[in-house]
A = this chain, B = another copy of it.
Amino acid sequence: MKHGSITALTRALIEIAWFFGPKGASGRCCEDLAMPEFLALVTIADLPDCPVQEIGAALGFTKSGATRIVDRLERKGYVTRVKSPDDARVCCVVITPRGRNILETTDARYQESLKAVLARLPGEETPAVRKMITMLARAMRS
């Protein structure tokens, strides 16, 4: 099943990752959010009072990497740091309304770009592809 230098399946996987992921290291998801920043913001949004290290763990970064990401998100006004009342060492990272807002915008943008791709497929396939995407992601998580 090889037509070029690598398998069609590998190539497809990588192209998908490239298309929907960061195009290049400094690829932007949206105006001023890099891919890891966006991922971090999603994590923060879904984990109430999320400690800094949690973010690093979720994304596969070290704790100092996590600090840096939170720094940038805070500087841009998408999150705030709040000292935990239970443990004074812990910084609870909380999403701001502005953060929620950009999450929505970006979500819409992703939907849009997937829709544009799906429009190029035979119409009856669309629901199956959507289902497959969520199924694949679920399998990855477990």
- A residues engaging B (CB < 8 A)? 4-26, 35-36, 38-39, 42, 45-46, 59-61, 65, 95, 100, 103-104, 106-107, 110-111, 114, 117-118, 120-121, 125, 128-130, 132-142
Contacts and interface: CB of A to CB of B under 8 A. Distances in A.
A129 B128 CA distance: 9
A45 B11 CA distance: 13
B17 A21 contact: yes
A120 B21 CA distance: 24
Contacts of A13: 20, 110, 114, 133, 137
A18 B59 CA distance: 9
Contacts of A133: 9, 12-13, 16, 132
